[in-house]
Structure 1
């Protein structure tokens, strides 16, 4: 996909996809959106170690970088990221996340340059496995405590936001696991409820009224 770099309102970078007329993050602030939706409402609720995280739509690597930087001290993370369209280093090498987050440039570089399809140690206690795969073809072989559902929006890629997809994810989440997503569309919430999730509508990040957190309560 052809992407165009942009700067969002909080000074952090994002990308614009011309073919979809869609941004990778909120134009109100990429960094503050990711922190609000995935870190504060998700990672900060899970202090167990080791913690297994699944990201759907790795994109720019911002969520992975924030998870590395903001996890609990000594918390070990096993982070699986699905991405059908990996970004080239000519794009990822220009992102300003490391400076804003306060993590060395080498960490974001390792996230993007690490080998695919196998576990790689990005830093002490942070293990990453990237899978270059379409979500519809993905067959989970592990279970997860936390899921970052960060695909493009339901109006842009409706096939990614479907009951069969939610069911696959629900089956792969551990008891008391959480799914986080930036959207609060009624159809998404109802679909998550249909497969068994308990769904909360939370306050959204700047520029969004609400977001969604779904839990597997067993």
Structure 2
């Protein structure tokens, strides 16, 4: 019988991802985990939101899918480098085991970020379901729960990083998207790697205005929606 345990794979940009044989899906794009995260959630996510809302803080971010912890770690670095306070709320019903997250190579990819390396492990090791300040500018709450069960806080930016609609259709329904949209502050942004037509149609039906945004390596486009101010 095929081993169904999660295993680490190396993507095209040299960064790791985690592959789940049970659902034949990985946590990040095979075309480059690190580049995908930077492109979707920072270049066209946090950076774009901040350009529109400079001076408004703390920035409240909600992430669907803590996963490997890459987005949370990169957000911590962004907050420290920009000296802008971020309140980060993330959910994950199935946390990675220690032997997996300790073997991920994200902290080895950029020598200029070496002094932030220790925070990656701390993000995984911190207690679930409790908020805490990780640095002067980054406060995080991880919850071991589902999108269906979580109680949402007001959010300025949503990192929707769930598995694909084909693998987790229950997270991409209009009902779940409305739950998120209801929690979004005026002028908040919703970003995801997914560019499915039904997703865009649902977001537009909820009143979000969509941009035409190029996708990360291996994808023609992604999705970014803005809530009205």
TM range (shorter): over 0.9
- Residue 54 (1) aligns with residue 62 (2): yes
Instruction: Identify unmatched segments of 5+ residues in structure 2.
Output: none
Q: Which runs of 4+ in 1 moved over 2 A?
A: none
Instruction: Identify unmatched segments of 5+ residues in structure 1.
Output: none
Counterpart position of 1:185: 196
Q: Which residue among 150, 153, 159 is the counterpart of 1:148?
A: 159
Pairwise CA distance, 1:98: 1.4
Q: Which residue among 120, 125, 130 is the counterpart of 1:113?
A: 125
- 1:137-176 pair list within 5 angstroms: 137-140=149-152, 142-176=153-187
- TM-score, normalised via structure 1 length: 0.95
Pairwise CA distance, 1:155: 0.9
Q: Deviations 1:149-190 (Å, cap 9, x if unpaired)?
A: 000001111111000001000010100000100011101100
- TM-score, normalised via structure 2 length: 0.91
- Asked if 2 retains the 8 angstrom alpha-carbon contact of 1:197 and 1:215, the reply is yes
Q: Deviations 1:58-92 (Å, cap 9, x if unpaired)?
A: 10000011111224521011100011111111110
Counterpart position of 1:93: 102
Would you tell me which structure has more strand in proportion to its own residues?
1
Q: Secondary structure at the match of 1:5?
A: strand
Q: Deviations 1:14-53 (Å, cap 9, x if unpaired)?
A: 0111111111111110000000000011111224321111
Counterpart position of 1:20: 23
- 1:63-82 pair list within 5 angstroms: 63-71=71-79, 73-82=82-91
For 1:61 and 1:98, locate their aligned partners in 2 and report how far apart those are by CA, in whole Å.
Answer: 11
For 1:167 and 1:201, locate their aligned partners in 2 and report how far apart those are by CA, in whole Å.
Answer: 21
For 2:60 and 2:18, locate their aligned partners in 1 and report how far apart those are by CA, in whole Å.
Answer: 27
Q: Secondary structure at the match of 2:212?
A: strand
Pairwise CA distance, 1:124: 2.1
Counterpart position of 2:35: 32
Pairwise CA distance, 1:99: 1.9
For 1:135 and 1:119, locate their aligned partners in 2 and report how far apart those are by CA, in whole Å.
Answer: 18
Pairwise CA distance, 1:201: 3.1
For 2:17 and 2:179, locate their aligned partners in 1 and report how far apart those are by CA, in whole Å.
Answer: 29
Aligned residues: 217
